[in-house]
Chain A
Amino acid sequence: SQTIHQWPATLVQPVGSPLSLECTVEGTSNPNLYWYRQAAGRGLQLLFYSVGIGQISSEVPQNLSASRPQDRQFILSSKKLLLSDSGFYLCAWSVLSIKSSYNSPLHFGNGTRLTVT
Chain B
Amino acid sequence: GQNIDQPTEMTATEGAIVQINCTYQTSGFNGLFWYQQHAGEAPTFLSYNVLDGLEEKGRFSSFLSRSKGYSYLLLKELQMKDSASYLCAVRDTGGFKTIFGAGTRLFVKA
Q: Does A associate with B in a complex?
A: no
B interface, CB within 8 angstroms of A: none
A interface, CB within 8 angstroms of B: none
